[in-house]
Chain A
Amino acid sequence: METTTTKPVEEIDSVTIRFAGDSGDGIQLTGGQFTTATALAGNDLSTLPDYPAEIRAPAGTLPGVSGFQIHFSSRDVLTPGDAPQVLVAMNPAALKANIKDLEAGGTILVNTDAFNATSFKKAGISTNPLEDGSLKGFRVIPIALTTLTDNALKGMNMTRTQVDRCKNFFALGIMYWLYERPIESTMSWIQKKFKKVPEIAKANTLALQAGHAYAETTEIFEHHYRVKKAPIKPGRYRNIMGNEAAALGLIAASKLSARPLYYGSYPITPASDILHELSKHKAFEVRTFQAEDEIAAIGAAIGASFGGHLAVTGTSGPGVALKSEAIGLAVMTELPLVIVNIQRGGPSTGLPTKTEQADLLQALFGRNGECPVPVVSAATPGECFTMVIEACRIALKYMTPVFFLSDGYLGNGSEPWLVPDVSKLPSLKVANAVRSDEKFLPYKRDPQTLARPWAVPGTAGLEHRIGGLEKQDVTGNVNYEPDNHEHMVRTRAAKVAGIAKDIPPTPILGPKKGKVLIVGWGSTYGAITAAVREFHAKEDSVAAIHLRHLNPLPPDLGEILFNYEKVLVPEMNMGQLLMLLRSKFLVPAIGLNKIKGQPFKISEIRNKVQELLDSKE
């Protein structure tokens, strides 16, 4: 829609906005709509939802606060932003929980209707922050959202509760005007979403339009902001969340391998969205199985793998703990399987809705016996597509279970995604074993990959038995002989180590030699890359590499590490990749560890690198 306004426009490079309110306020929905509109406006963007583990904690309380942050810019965006410049606070609890993150001098839009004695009590504050001077240093924009929404919906004969549920669209309308976002996509989304309740669709549309018109006419806003389109590589884009990308990647891998997808899973935050997405796609012959528990979920997947399907189980860390015995069985039976772990804060139930990278060593070593499993991870939400396909490729080619590690930040975070051209995706086809004149030997390996043949039930002449007992080399019969066991342990290890041959050279961001090398993996990519680019603006001694293959590690890694004076490993854990690098390469790498359930800020990486550059040691 053409924005017709007489108010002046101020051009800015980028902005970070956080929406905050009760988890029942529709904050995630509002953020999602703002994201779509922003993508359509042509900006680059990155988002971070932050929601409570409780579905609806008591309204107005701190545990019930849900947040959604979006960073958008006319330039390349790598993170959801260190600190928001704008906070939209729907109630006092949302203000209290988020004010500490707001940039100095930042703007706060508050719903003044929610600022009363009752809500102060729920939020645990004694004085009205709008009046007690505690917000000095911020620009506060008080708006009576509920009242204004009520006015806009006069004559619609709606209850107070119904009106209250529309106020997030009023707020969204204001924000659309303020940042010149198109409102059409949200209008048509409302129509689609509330097709069955036309009066609700009408109310939400009215609230959205009224908010937009209000911002345009009220004297509160002197001008609005323009964030120009970002220079983005031409092509067709869509917005994508990491879990959605992983689900699509699995469907793509099924097509590319010409094998039906079987996904066994048990509901667990933050991985359930993959199950939800995959369960929609029966047309792609996707079989989803919501199992009775985590063990059954992987068991069914292994059964389907034995049956020749592309089999996957998806979960988060606590679920992996339960699956570990079955992963061992997949290692022993040498069946292809992908284990998706959307990591969250641990240990135990930990922080279900917060992010962490503390399951790396679990993926590598969390099983009984010598039990090697390849591990890959994604760096960005969109890359979950690519790397889950890579996990499938390795599983099928090498007949092995493979871990795909993502985390809550990647899984729920979103970014604009260049839609891949299907015709350019690689084939993942591997052949089943076929009958020959010779006796079938289920553990006779391919000399190149050391993979054993995949003999699928239904194939006459290849009847065989597999299981968790140690296998005799070649025949696959049960065998307890000492030399055979050692040989098999070493063979399974060599098979996984041999995957390194497939790993492409590691791209280096920055100089090939220098003072500091940052080694990252997983979702720290954005913050690390943004920090390194800041250094490149002024000097050329800081570089970064980002690992997608964590087991085996890239074959060129050892050489790269020793080309820098210092190696810094930022991780959202106590130093797990750090431990691997130090033990494998005897490199005196330094850790930067954050275990707050929150992703790194660019400034945290930058400050640590600066400290290393400044240090005389």
Chain B
Amino acid sequence: MADTLTASPAPSAPMNRQDFVSDQIVRWCPGCGDYAILASVQKLMPSLGIPREKIVFVSGIGCSSRFPYYMNTYGMHSIHGRAPTFATGLKSARPDLTVWVVTGDGDGLSIGGNHLLHALRRNVDLKILLFNNKIYGLTKGQASPTSELGKKTKSSPFGTIDRPINPLRFALAAEAPFVARTVDTDVTHMGQVLERAAKHKGSAFVEIYQNCIVFNDAAFPGVQSRDTRDDAAVKLEHGKPMIFGKAKDKGVKLNGFKPEVVTFDPAKPPSDLLVHDEKANPAVAYMLTELEGDDLPVAMGVFRDVESPTFDGLMNQQIAENAKPGADDLQKLLTGSDSWEVK
């Protein structure tokens, strides 16, 4: 039945970035980090070789959630926090489509926390981009669930009293099979991480540090600036020791269960540096999320990448396994097994 839904014509001609730019005027504030993310995604799309009509962007509510309007693909700008639900229905009904979810820290982790949790634990084959700017931008500057404790905002003039949630820890706790982090100002890194997410089969969760120039400027000091980020961040590379710093003279090692920074001669890195393993026990990835503050570098890149059966795949597998000739005889179904004839 499903093949009657889309009479897809011959494959489209090779595409370029411009093919993914919609005719709508982009309405984010000048200087917003969202522009860079949009450009990165539009640049990535043609390289994936997926026809434009097979791609759907689904979002919730918030600044980030305007994203689908600017992508010349199919799209749905839904309701606050619920994007994963629409995306789950769409992807499980139509596994032939590539479905992306765009959300923010308020949309995804406050009002929509429950849906994000379940999309990840089910392993629905969705690419989920969470733009984290640690603030409610569209409603003009209230604290968000990722705002740091004590943050003074319009809704918290004496400082917030609720502890923030770390998006990656949330995703890891939900056992998301692909968990990554990047930042809006490092376009090269963002492109690499987005490509990895796109190519992962299953739920791919990417936190993107995103600057809100109006309500929470410089929310991620250190990692956002080109001048400081080499020392403020360690880029995770599968199978490689965690070395960072402009001079490549710093590394991360474990002291018991605690990651700590060591300095060394770049020519002679110590042998006990932590070697990144995307397939390792998620507890290791969890420890990497604790790299922040106290001169610790923030970890950027792919924290975890493992394969497991997807929800949409399993749902459609059950359908396929039960589709036997004659098994869908409606008259037989309606008649049931306990009918009788009245003459």
The 8 A CB mask of B72-111 against A (1 = contact, 0 = none) is 1111111100101111111111101100000000000000
| A232 is an interface residue with CB less than 8 A from chain B | yes
| B322 is an interface residue with CB less than 8 A from chain A | yes
| A2 is an interface residue with CB less than 8 A from chain B | no
Please give, as numbers and ranges, the residues of chain A lying within 8 Å of B74 by CB-CB distance. Answer: 306, 457, 463-465
Cβ < 8 Å to B, chain A residues 399-421: 419-421
Q: How far apart sit A237 and B115, CA to CA, in the bound complex (Å)? A: 44
Q: A239 and B8 in contact (CB under 8 A), knowing A306-B76, A307-B89, A333-B76?
A: no
Name the one of B52, B53, B86 contacting A306, with C-beta atoms under 8 angstroms.
B86
Binding site for B on A (CB under 8 A): 36, 39-40, 42, 185, 232-239, 248, 251-252, 255, 258-260, 262, 264, 281-285, 287, 289, 291-293, 295-309, 311, 325-326, 328-329, 333, 419-422, 432, 434-435, 456-469, 477-478
The 8 A CB mask of B313-343 against A (1 = contact, 0 = none) is 0010011011110011011011110111111
Name the one of B58, B90, B319 contacting A304, with C-beta atoms under 8 angstroms.
B90
Q: How far apart sit A465 and B69, CA to CA, in the bound complex (Å)? A: 6
Name the one of A285, A307, A467 contacting B78, with C-beta atoms under 8 angstroms.
A467
Q: How far apart sit A260 and B117, CA to CA, in the bound complex (Å)? A: 27
Binding site for A on B (CB under 8 A): 1-2, 4-9, 12, 22, 24, 51-54, 56, 58, 61, 68-69, 71-79, 82, 84-94, 96-97, 114-115, 117-118, 315, 318-319, 321-324, 327-328, 330-331, 333-336, 338-343
Q: How far apart sit A251 and B87, CA to CA, in the bound complex (Å)? A: 23
Please give, as numbers and ranges, the residues of chain B lying within 8 Å of A421 by CB-CB distance. Answer: 331
Q: Is the CB of A281 within 8 A of B333?
A: yes
Please give, as numbers and ranges, the residues of chain A lying within 8 Å of B87 by CB-CB distance. Answer: 303
Closest chain B residue to A335, Cβ basis: B76
Q: Is the CB of A460 within 8 A of B12?
A: yes
Q: Say how far B80's CB is from chain A's closest CB, in angstroms.
A: 8
Q: How far apart sit A458 and B2, CA to CA, in the bound complex (Å)? A: 11
Closest chain A residue to B83, Cβ basis: A299
Please give, as numbers and ranges, the residues of chain B lying within 8 Å of A457 by CB-CB distance. Answer: 6, 53-54, 56, 74, 90, 94, 97
Please give, as numbers and ranges, the residues of chain B lying within 8 Å of A329 by CB-CB distance. Answer: 78-79
Please give, as numbers and ranges, the residues of chain B lying within 8 Å of A239 by CB-CB distance. Answer: 338
Closest chain B residue to A435, Cβ basis: B9
Q: List 12 A-B contacts (CB under 8 A).
A: A238-B338, A283-B322, A295-B115, A299-B84, A303-B58, A306-B56, A306-B86, A311-B89, A458-B96, A461-B9, A466-B75, A468-B61
Q: Say how far B25's CB is from chain A's closest CB, in angstroms.
A: 10
Apart from A232-B342, A300-B86, A459-B8: 5 A-B pairs, beta carbons within 8 A: A234-B342, A238-B340, A282-B323, A468-B79, A478-B24
Q: Is the CB of A296 within 8 A of B82?
A: yes
Q: Is the CB of B94 within 8 A of A458?
A: yes
Please give, as numbers and ranges, the residues of chain A lying within 8 Å of B328 by CB-CB distance. Answer: 255, 283-285
Q: Is the CB of B79 within 8 A of A478?
A: no
Q: A251 and B333 in contact (CB under 8 A), knowing A185-B338, A458-B5, A469-B77?
A: yes
Q: Is the CB of A307 within 8 A of B5?
A: yes
Please give, as numbers and ranges, the residues of chain B lying within 8 Å of A252 by CB-CB distance. Answer: 330, 334
Closest chain A residue to B80, Cβ basis: A325
Name the one of B1, B7, B53 contacting A260, with C-beta atoms under 8 angstroms.
B1
Q: Is the CB of B93 within 8 A of A303?
A: yes
Q: Is the CB of A258 within 8 A of B1?
A: yes
Q: Is the CB of A304 within 8 A of B85?
A: no
> When A and B form their complex, which 3 residue pairs have the shortest distance between CB atoms, in order from nearest?
A299-B85, A303-B89, A467-B77
Q: Say how far B119's CB is from chain A's closest CB, in angstroms.
A: 9
Q: A304 and B92 in contact (CB under 8 A), knowing A281-B333, A465-B74?
A: yes
Q: Is the CB of B335 within 8 A of A419?
A: yes
Q: Say how far A178's CB is from chain B's closest CB, in angstroms.
A: 22
Q: Is the CB of A299 within 8 A of B86?
A: yes
Q: How far apart sit A44 and B335, CA to CA, in the bound complex (Å)? A: 18
Please give, as numbers and ranges, the residues of chain A lying within 8 Å of B69 by CB-CB distance. Answer: 465, 467, 478
Q: A299 and B78 in contact (CB under 8 A), knowing A42-B342, A458-B8?
A: yes
Q: Is the CB of A293 within 8 A of B89?
A: no
Q: A289 and B5 in contact (CB under 8 A), knowing A283-B328, A307-B94?
A: no
Closest chain A residue to B77, Cβ basis: A467
Name the one of A42, A302, A467 contacting B68, with C-beta atoms under 8 angstroms.
A467
Please give, as numbers and ranges, the residues of chain B lying within 8 Å of A303 by CB-CB distance. Answer: 58, 76, 85-91, 93
Q: Say how far B236's CB is from chain A's closest CB, in angstroms.
A: 31
Please give, as numbers and ranges, the residues of chain A lying within 8 Å of B97 by CB-CB distance. Answer: 307, 457-458
Q: Is the CB of A465 within 8 A of B75?
A: yes
Q: Is the CB of B115 within 8 A of A292?
A: yes
Most chain-B Cβ atoms within 10 A of its Cβ — which of A232, A422, A432? A422
Q: Is the CB of A284 within 8 A of B333?
A: yes
Q: Say how far B124's CB is from chain A's closest CB, in angstroms.
A: 10
Name the one of A287, A300, A333, A462 contacting B85, with C-beta atoms under 8 angstroms.
A300
Please give, as numbers and ranges, the residues of chain A lying within 8 Å of B6 by CB-CB distance. Answer: 308, 432, 456-459
Q: Is the CB of A287 within 8 A of B93?
A: yes
Please give, as numbers and ranges, the residues of chain B lying within 8 Å of A232 by CB-CB distance. Answer: 342
Q: How far apart sit A234 and B12, CA to CA, in the bound complex (Å)? A: 58
Q: A236 and B339 in contact (CB under 8 A), knowing A296-B118, A458-B6?
A: yes
Please give, as numbers and ranges, the residues of chain B lying within 8 Å of A284 by CB-CB distance. Answer: 328, 330, 333
Q: Is the CB of B51 within 8 A of A419?
A: no
Q: Is the CB of B339 within 8 A of A419?
A: yes
Q: Say how far B86's CB is from chain A's closest CB, in angstroms.
A: 4
Please give, as numbers and ranges, the residues of chain B lying within 8 Å of A468 by CB-CB distance. Answer: 61, 77-79
Most chain-B Cβ atoms within 10 A of its Cβ — which of A236, A293, A311, A463? A463
Please give, as numbers and ranges, the residues of chain A lying within 8 Å of B8 by CB-CB distance. Answer: 458-460
Q: Is the CB of B77 within 8 A of A420?
A: no
Q: How far apart sit A292 and B174, CA to CA, in the bound complex (Å)? A: 14
Q: Is the CB of B118 within 8 A of A292?
A: yes
Please give, as numbers and ranges, the residues of chain B lying within 8 Å of A289 by CB-CB distance. Answer: 88-89, 92, 315
Q: Is the CB of B334 within 8 A of A248?
A: yes
Q: A463 and B72 in contact (CB under 8 A), knowing A283-B328, A285-B319, A303-B58?
A: yes
Q: A282 and B76 in contact (CB under 8 A), knowing A42-B342, A458-B97?
A: no
Q: Say how far B188's CB is from chain A's closest CB, in angstroms.
A: 28
Q: Is the CB of B82 within 8 A of A465?
A: no
Q: Say how far B5's CB is from chain A's closest CB, in angstroms.
A: 4
Please give, as numbers and ranges, the residues of chain A lying within 8 Å of B78 by CB-CB distance. Answer: 299, 302, 329, 467-468
Q: A459 and B93 in contact (CB under 8 A), knowing A36-B338, A333-B76?
A: no
Closest chain B residue to A328, Cβ basis: B79
Closest chain B residue to A475, Cβ basis: B23
Please give, as numbers and ranges, the residues of chain A lying within 8 Å of B336 by CB-CB distance. Answer: 238, 419
Please give, as numbers and ranges, the residues of chain B lying within 8 Å of A326 by CB-CB distance. Answer: 79, 82
Name the one of B9, B89, B331, B339 contacting A237, with C-beta atoms under 8 angstroms.
B339
Q: Say how far B56's CB is from chain A's closest CB, in angstroms.
A: 5
Q: Say how far A242's CB is from chain B's closest CB, in angstroms.
A: 15
Q: Is the CB of B341 within 8 A of A282?
A: no
Please give, as numbers and ranges, the residues of chain B lying within 8 Å of A251 by CB-CB distance. Answer: 330, 333
Q: Is the CB of B342 within 8 A of A292?
A: no
Q: How far apart sit A259 and B333, CA to CA, in the bound complex (Å)? A: 18
Q: How far apart sit A477 and B334, CA to CA, in the bound complex (Å)? A: 44
Closest chain B residue to A300, Cβ basis: B89
Q: Is the CB of B340 within 8 A of A39?
A: yes
Q: How far apart sit A300 and B90, CA to CA, in the bound complex (Å)? A: 7
Q: How far apart sit A301 and B327, CA to CA, in the bound complex (Å)? A: 25
Closest chain A residue to B122, Cβ basis: A292
Q: How far apart sit A22 and B75, CA to CA, in the bound complex (Å)? A: 54
Q: Say how far B253's CB is from chain A's closest CB, in angstroms.
A: 40
Q: Say how far B91's CB is from chain A's closest CB, in angstroms.
A: 8
Q: Is the CB of A238 within 8 A of B335?
A: yes
Q: How far apart sit A464 and B321, CA to CA, in the bound complex (Å)? A: 34
Closest chain B residue to A235, Cβ basis: B342
Q: How far apart sit A292 and B223, CA to CA, in the bound complex (Å)? A: 36
Q: A282 and B318 in contact (CB under 8 A), knowing A304-B92, A457-B6?
A: yes
Q: Say how far B7's CB is from chain A's closest CB, in angstroms.
A: 7
Q: Say how far B3's CB is from chain A's closest CB, in angstroms.
A: 10
Q: How far apart sit A264 and B87, CA to CA, in the bound complex (Å)? A: 13
Please give, as numbers and ranges, the residues of chain B lying within 8 Å of A298 by CB-CB distance. Answer: 85
